Amino acid sequence: MPPRHQGPGGGVIKRSQLLALVALTLMWGVNWPMMKLSLRELTPLYFRAVTMSGGALWLYLFYQMRGVRMLPRGREWHSVVTLGLPNMLGWHTVSILGVKELASGRAAILGFTMPIWTVLISVLFLGEKLTRRVAFAALSVAIAIALLSSVEFSALTGHPIGILWMEIAALLWAIGTLMMRRARLTLPVEALTVWMMVLASACLWVLAWSSEPAPVWQFSTTMWFSLAYSVFINYGFAQIFWSELARNLPPATSAMGIMAVPMVGTLSATLIVGEWPHWQDLAALLFVASAIAAVLLPSRKLEGAA
C-alpha cells in the first residue's frame, strides 16, 4: 500500500502527491529568477508571447494524447474568453512588466499577495464577513508592501512603478480566481487552461508587435535554456502537476505550497541572477506568508500552532 501522510487540513495525502507539491513549488519559485534572466535578452511582451505559445502547444499535445476533450463547444468559448482575460492575459502581461522593473524575488513576494486580495474582494463586494484573520492578513500585506516600497524609493536605481505593476497583476489574478470559483464549467479544466493560454498568446503577439522592437532571435545558450524552462517547465509540467494536485489535495496543503513559492523565488534569485535580498525583502516575505496562512489555513491549524 502506498505511503500516506496527514495533510495540514486534516486530509490524507500520498507521498507521491507530497513530492509533486514540492516539485511544483520549486518549479514555480525558480521561474521568477529565470524570467528575470530571460529579460536581459528579450523584451517582456515578446518573452511572454513566445513562451506561452510554446507552452500552449505542448500542453495541447499532451492532453490530447491523454484523451481529454480539447475543443470547446458553443457557450464554452464564452468561458474561455471571460476567464482567460484576467487569469492569463491580465496576470501574465502585467506581472512580467513588474518583473522587468523589480528584483525577481521581490516581484514574487508581491505577486503572491493574490490570496489576500481574493479574500478582501469577497468581503468588500461579495458579502463575506470581515473577520479578525482577514483584518490581520490585510495589515500584514500593507506592512509588506510598505517594506518593499521603502527599498525601491530609497535606492538610486529603485523602480517603485514595479510595485504598482505587481499589485495590479495580483489583483487581476484574484479577480480571475473568484470568477473561476463561481463559473459553471462543462469544458475540462485542462482544455480551458490551454485555450486561455492560446487567447492570451494571440493578444500578447499583437501587443508586443505594436509596442516593442522586433527581437533579433540570436540568443546566448543561457537564454535558450531559460526560454525552454518557461515553455516546458513553467507552462508545461507545472500546469500538469497543478491540475492533478488541485483536484486531489486538501486546500490547506495547497496553501502551504503557495506560501513557499516566494521563498523559493527569493532564495534561488541569489544563485541564478545574483540578487541578494535586503532585510526588508525577508521581513516582507514573513508578513506575506503569515497573511496567506491567516486566510487560507483552517482555524484549528492556527489554533494548534498558537
Element (H, E) at 246: helix 238-248
Per-residue exposure over 292-305, b if at least 16 CB sit within 10 Å of its own CB, e if not? bbbbbbeeebeeee
Q: How confident is the model at residue 9 (pLDDT cuts 50, 70, 90)?
A: very low
Residues 6+ apart with CB under 8 A from 175: 86, 90, 121
Packing angle, helices 15-38 and 104-111, rounded to 10:
130
Element (H, E) at 14: strand 12-14
User: Which pTM value belongs to this model?
Assistant: 0.87
Closest CA to 28 of 240, 271, 283, 248: 240
pLDDT tens-digit profile of 159-199? 789 999 999 999 999 999 899 888 888 999 999 999 999 99
Residue 160 C-alpha cell reads as: 517603485
Distance CA 99, CA 103 (A): 7
Q: How confident is the model at residue 305 (pLDDT cuts 50, 70, 90)?
A: very low
pLDDT (average), residues 90-106: 95
Q: What is the pLDDT of residue 294?
A: 81
pLDDT tens-digit profile of 29-70? 999 999 999 999 999 999 999 999 999 999 999 999 999 999
Rounded to 5, what percent of the chain is helix, strand, coil? Answer: 75, 0, 20
pLDDT tens-digit profile of 220-262? 999 999 999 999 999 999 988 887 776 666 655 666 667 788 9
Rounded to the nearest angstrom, the gap between the alpha carbon of residue 247 and the centroid of all alpha carbons in its chain is 18
E strands, 101-194, where?
A: none
Q: Give phi and psi for 11, each to the nearest 5.
A: -80, 155
How many CB atoms within 10 Å of residue 211? 11
Question: Residue 229 burial by CB count (10 A; 0-12/13-18/19+): exposed, middle or buried?
Answer: buried
Residues 273, 33 contacting (CB under 8 angstroms): yes
